[in-house]
Amino acid sequence: MSRDEEERDAAQITSPSNPRIKRLVGLRNREARDRESVFVVEGARDLGRALESGHRPTEVYYDNSLFSRSPFPAPDEASVDALALDRASYRGHSQGIIAVFEQFDVNLDRLELGPAPLVLVLEAIEKPGNLGAMLRTADAVGVDAVIALGAGIDPFNPNVIRASTGTLFTVPLAVTDLEAAAIWLEQRDVRIVAADPLASTTLWEADLSGPTALLIGSEHDGLTPSARSAAGLLVSIPMHGAADSLNASVSAAILAFEALRQRSC
Amino acid sequence: MSRDEEERDAAQITSPSNPRIKRLVGLRNREARDRESVFVVEGARDLGRALESGHRPTEVYYDNSLFSRSPFPAPDEASVDALALDRASYRGHSQGIIAVFEQFDVNLDRLELGPAPLVLVLEAIEKPGNLGAMLRTADAVGVDAVIALGAGIDPFNPNVIRASTGTLFTVPLAVTDLEAAAIWLEQRDVRIVAADPLASTTLWEADLSGPTALLIGSEHDGLTPSARSAAGLLVSIPMHGAADSLNASVSAAILAFEALRQRSC
């Protein structure tokens, strides 16, 4: 079958109340995503990053006022009127393309560490946008892996994907609990270094050039007591101001780039 | 007059459609704020930081289901029913207290630099939340000043205040244009060091221990050509990932903490 013939098979969606649009709207809900084991990606930037890293969408919905055919191939392609596609977009504006992917494995077992690995461990991140921002930083630093702790963590939340600028697809990520992560890291001789505003050792005094897992507490509560005990070293980021804390994703970036500096210099 | 007598003078507001509530709602609009030369602060954390740094509100509106009298004194205090106060809150939930302050001076002339000053210069920051996040970082680092470039910058936007966790009140801030900032810095022998992903010198190779102004471009467009020319040195933050940039506020934090490290070690 030629490409032209395939195109004739693309579904045509004109109405915002089309059942397929309603299903996409429904996928904003985590339960619905998990039931189908899928997630949704909007916009060419994030979708492009998915493709670059070897992920393939199962469905593509494209704005037929912008594209004459699907700009990314998929087993299921649909040509959609702009207003209907905007309805499907979780932000109300589709950026021209919406794709559905199968959820991928986020088990610890999928992670592979290189020599002198650098891992970012994030405890109970509350805001999806913060998890996404930290994935973006992890990508820039080139960490071996990100481990997100907490049953509530949903890496397939649209705000995670958006804030990550698509690096959800490029950074090896696992979601698990503290105990499993601590055992996994110990078995691989990776030292846990946790950020603690009260630690007497600063990040600049600590040796972060060996196998290191940087552990960051949650935005509001900081490290839990069990996370603090799991750490082989506590380090502080020196602060000189009136406020008593940094944004969790800023703390993660400062620690990760200090580790990168020590490994580069 | 005793405190008890003063309390009897506090205005009582019960209805969400009270004209004073409507005015507070109107102050979400920049034009309205600038016309009265005031701004609005919500919540005890940010208000507390304002008071610690010597700022005094002109009006305080407190939730009378939480407080029996105004927890912070002001010339004009009003006891407000919870629903009416929530209506006045720009996020729809008041956190119990809303205060009005007079806008303060953000001219360059107000800034004073110490020896070997560290200044953060932010070009055309598009998102108020990013400006707020950078003020929070600037506070933590203890910079001498933040200079925000661009006519559209409104430091009194509620999202700036909120994201700054109240450090808008503690960090010396000026809003001006690039030309004025460059002249002002040159007159004070402060070298402009601009973040540029393509620079061959990394931030770790650069000497940031002397009088330094760290210049960060806007989130989407990076540095303008004039900003690049105004810089005495361009430095890059080394990146190893698939994505091509960091969040502007993360870049600012990495640069500012590297300057702090060089000054501390």
List, for residues B196-208, the tens digit of each pLDDT value. Answer: 999 999 999 999 9
ipTM above threshold 0.90: no
End-to-end CA distance of chain B: 56
Spatial CB neighbours of B162, under 8 Å, sequence gap ≥ 6: B42, B46, B129, B132
| A243/B52 CB distance under 8 A | no
Chain B residues lying within 8 Å of A136, measured CB to CB:
243, 246-247, 250
Any alpha helices (H) in A27-61, and if so which ranges? 30-36, 44-52
The DSSP secondary structure of A107-162, one letter per residue, reads: -GGG----SS-EEEEEE----HHHHHHHHHHHHHHT-SEEEEE-TT--TTSHHHHH
Other CB atoms within 10 Å distance of the CB of residue A239? 18
List, for residues B17-37, the tens digit of each pLDDT value. Answer: 999 999 999 999 999 999 999
Chain B residues lying within 8 Å of A254, measured CB to CB:
253-254, 257
Cross-strand bridge partners of residue B176: B149
Closest listed residue to residue B50, CA positions, set B173, B131, B161: B161
Query: Are B137 and B10 found together in one domain?
Result: no
Query: Are A130 and A228 found together in one domain?
Result: yes
Q: Distance between CA atoms of B133 and B122, rounded to whole angstroms?
A: 12
- Average pLDDT of B182-186? 97
- Min Cα distance A242 → chain B (Å) is 7
State which of B68, B102, B136 marks the end of a domain: B102
Query: Are B87 and B149 found together in one domain?
Result: no
User: A–B: how many Cβ contacts below 8 A?
Assistant: 117
- Min Cα distance A249 → chain B (Å) is 8
φ and ψ at residue B256, rounded to 5 degrees: -65, -40
Query: Are A143 and A75 found together in one domain?
Result: no
CATH number at residue A222: 3.40.1280.10
Evaluate if residue B6 carries a pLDDT over 70: no
Q: Distance between CA atoms of B38 and A37, rounded to whole angstroms?
A: 50
The confidence score (pLDDT) of residue B9 equals: 67
- Which of B169, B237, B254 should one mutate to test binding to chain A, selecting the residue with the greatest count of A CBs within 10 A? B254
Query: Are B42 and B161 found together in one domain?
Result: no
- Min Cα distance A254 → chain B (Å) is 6
Q: Any chain B CB within 8 A of the CB of A257? A: yes
Surface of B (67-106) touching A: CB under 8 A: none
Surface of A (50-69) touching B: CB under 8 A: 52-53
Q: Any chain B CB within 8 A of the CB of A236? A: no
Query: Are B26 and B138 found together in one domain?
Result: no
pLDDT in tens, chain A (265 residues): 444 444 446 799 999 999 999 999 999 999 999 999 999 999 998 998 999 889 999 999 999 999 989 988 899 999 999 999 999 999 899 889 999 999 999 999 999 999 999 999 999 888 999 999 999 999 999 999 999 999 889 999 999 999 999 999 999 999 999 999 999 999 999 999 999 999 999 999 999 999 999 999 987 888 999 999 999 999 999 998 877 778 889 999 999 999 999 999 7
φ and ψ at residue A69, rounded to 5 degrees: -150, 170
On average, the pLDDT of chain B sits at 92
Distances in Å between the alpha carbon of B156 and those of B27, B38, B104, B173?
10, 8, 9, 11
B126 vs A168 pLDDT, higher one: A168
φ and ψ at residue A103, rounded to 5 degrees: -60, 145
Surface of A (130-149) touching B: CB under 8 A: 133, 136-142
Spatial CB neighbours of B131, under 8 Å, sequence gap ≥ 6: B122, B125, B148, B153, B155, B157, B160, B163, B164
Evaluate if residue B3 carries a pLDDT over 80: no
- Which of B246, B264, B265 should one mutate to test binding to chain A, selecting the residue with the greatest count of A CBs within 10 A? B246
B220 vs B9 pLDDT, higher one: B220
Evaluate if residue B163 carries a pLDDT over 60: yes
List, for residues A11-22, the tens digit of each pLDDT value. Answer: 999 999 999 999
The DSSP secondary structure of A12-32, one letter per residue, reads: EE--TT-HHHHHHHHTTSHHH
Query: Are A151 and A219 found together in one domain?
Result: yes
Query: Are A122 and A212 found together in one domain?
Result: yes
Distances in Å between the alpha carbon of A40 and those of A15, A60, A98, B43, B196?
20, 10, 7, 36, 33
State which of A69, A102, A135 marks the end of a domain: A102
- Please give the helix or strand (H or E) that residue B60 lies within, else none: strand B59-63
pTM of the model: 0.88
Chain B residues lying within 8 Å of A137, measured CB to CB:
246-247, 250
CATH number at residue A27: 3.30.1330.30
- Please give the helix or strand (H or E) that residue A192 lies within, else none: strand A191-195
The confidence score (pLDDT) of residue A5 equals: 45
Among A204, A243, A250, beta carbon nearest to B264: A204
Chain B residues lying within 8 Å of A265, measured CB to CB:
204
Evaluate if residue B2 carries a pLDDT over 70: no
Q: Distance between CA atoms of B173 and B176, rounded to whole angstroms?
A: 10
Query: Are A13 and A69 found together in one domain?
Result: yes
Is B192 strand, coil or helix? strand
| A242/B141 CB distance under 8 A | no
Query: Are A136 and A260 found together in one domain?
Result: yes
Q: Distance between CA atoms of A158 and A136, rounded to whole angstroms?
A: 15
- Min Cα distance A27 → chain B (Å) is 26
**In which domain, by residue range, is A234 found?**
108-264
Calculate the CA B123 to chain-centre distance: 14
Banded pLDDT at B265 (limits 50, 70, 90): confident
- Which of A162, A245, A247, A264 should one mutate to test binding to chain B, selecting the residue with the greatest count of B CBs within 10 A? A247
Number of domains in chain A: 2
Closest listed residue to residue B36, CA positions, set B131, B156, B147: B156
Query: Are A245 and A174 found together in one domain?
Result: yes
Ramachandran category for residue B241: left, alpha or beta (phi over 0 → left; psi -120 to 50 → alpha)? beta
| B167/A237 CB distance under 8 A | no
Among B52, B237, B250, beta carbon nearest to A250: B250
The confidence score (pLDDT) of residue B152 equals: 87
- Residue pair B99/B59 in contact (Cβ under 8 Å)? The answer is yes
Q: Distance between CA atoms of B215 and B192, rounded to whole angstroms?
A: 7
CA dihedral A43, A49, A52, A55 (to 10 degrees): -80
β-pairing, A145-149 vs A191-195, is: unpaired
State which of B82, B102, B122 marks the end of a domain: B102
Query: Are B58 and B21 found together in one domain?
Result: yes
- Residue pair B166/B45 in contact (Cβ under 8 Å)? The answer is yes
Give the whole-number percent of chain B exceeding pLDDT 90. 81
Among B242, B258, B265, beta carbon nearest to A53: B242
Q: Distance between CA atoms of B23 and B87, rounded to whole angstroms?
A: 11
Q: What does chain A come to in residues?
A: 265
The confidence score (pLDDT) of residue B244 equals: 73
Among B49, B204, B257, beta carbon nearest to A254: B257
| A241/B171 CB distance under 8 A | yes
Is B6 strand, coil or helix? helix
Half-sphere exposure of B122 (CA within 13 A, CB side): 36
DSSP 8-state assignment for residue B258: H
Q: Distance between CA atoms of A247 and A216, rounded to whole angstroms?
A: 11
Sheet strand arrangement including B76-80:
B11-13, B76-80, B59-63, B97-102, B38-42
- Min Cα distance B255 → chain A (Å) is 9
Q: Distance between CA atoms of A74 and A70, rounded to whole angstroms?
A: 8
Q: Any chain A CB within 8 A of the CB of B114? A: no
Sheet strand arrangement including A191-195:
A173-176, A145-149, A118-123, A212-216, A191-195, A233-235
Banded pLDDT at B219 (limits 50, 70, 90): confident
- 3-state helix, strand, coil split of chain B in percent (to 5) is 35, 20, 40
Evaluate if residue B185 carries a pLDDT over 80: yes
- Min Cα distance B172 → chain A (Å) is 12
